């Protein structure tokens, strides 16, 4: 009996290290992430336990239904592959702000800790859209061409920072696995500590370039070390 209890405790401890292991047997843990002004959406489906994200002059994503505490679970591991990159893609411009694959970490806006100006701005956004937008976001990207800077401010807003993990055609068609510390990356990108509550999203978009691509995600794992 004591042995069984020890095994159960050990098993629980091991499981506590991993908050999420998404193997994409289905999309039941995810919901659509669409944008009001963009009518043509990218397509997300599961095949043989692989997420397939297809874009054709379109933009939309899928968002994890569950949120979590980034201070408790700062480590993100995933495996992705792209079929092609965008010829006109450029991470530094609005016209080129398309990527065959990016994984977002969205940090929840907390009105209790907001500045006066932010409380007004986010309050207006909530009145329009019915919910607060993220306070900020990090996105891990496969850039369309090699980038000198590995942390890039999004061309649309300084509340969104992009971190280049892969770029260009060099590894197109090859599975690439990455492990990142989101908490440390946030501090490097924004120069401070993030809000504690986050959610994840995956996107393949091509609404700016008008091109098309297919990308794949094998798994995503969220853990504490």
> Could you read off the pLDDT of 11-30 as tens digits, one per residue?
454 456 999 999 999 999 99
pTM for the full predicted model: 0.86
For 87, other C-beta atoms within 10 Å of its C-beta total 10
Q: How confident is the model at residue 192 (pLDDT cuts 50, 70, 90)?
A: very high
Distance CA 211, CA 56 (A): 6
- CA distances to 12, 18, 47, 53 from 94, in Å: 46, 37, 32, 22
Find the mean pLDDT for residues 39-65. Answer: 97
Domains detected in the chain = 20-223 (2.60.120)
Q: How confident is the model at residue 9 (pLDDT cuts 50, 70, 90)?
A: very low
Q: Which helix (H) or strand (E) holds 117?
A: helix 116-129
Per the prediction, the chain carries an average pLDDT of: 87
């Amino acid at each position: 009996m004591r042995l069984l209890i020890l095994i159960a405790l050990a098993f629980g401890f091991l499981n506590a290290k991993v908050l999420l292991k998404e193997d994409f047997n289905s999309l039941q843990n995810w919901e659509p992430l669409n944008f009001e002004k963009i009518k043509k959406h990218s397509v997300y489906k599961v095949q043989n336990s692989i997420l397939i994200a297809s874009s054709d002059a379109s933009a939309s994503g899928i968002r994890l239904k569950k949120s979590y505490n980034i201070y408790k679970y700062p480590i993100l591991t995933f495996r992705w592959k792209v079929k092609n990159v965008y010829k006109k893609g450029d991470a530094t411009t609005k016209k080129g702000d398309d990527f065959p694959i990016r994984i977002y970490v969205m940090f929840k806006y907390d009105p209790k800790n907001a500045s006066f100006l932010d409380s007004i701005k986010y309050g207006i956004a909530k009145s329009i859209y019915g919910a607060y937008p993220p306070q900020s976001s990090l996105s891990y990207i496969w850039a369309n061409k090699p980038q000198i800077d590995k942390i890039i401010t999004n061309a649309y807003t300084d509340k969104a920072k992009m971190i280049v993990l892969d770029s260009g055609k060099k590894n197109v068609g090859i599975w690439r696995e990455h492990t990142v510390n989101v908490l440390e990356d946030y501090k490097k990108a924004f120069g401070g500590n993030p809000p504690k509550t986050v959610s994840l999203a995956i996107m393949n978009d091509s609404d700016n370039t008008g091109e098309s691509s297919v990308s794949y995600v094998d798994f995503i794992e969220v853990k504490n070390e």
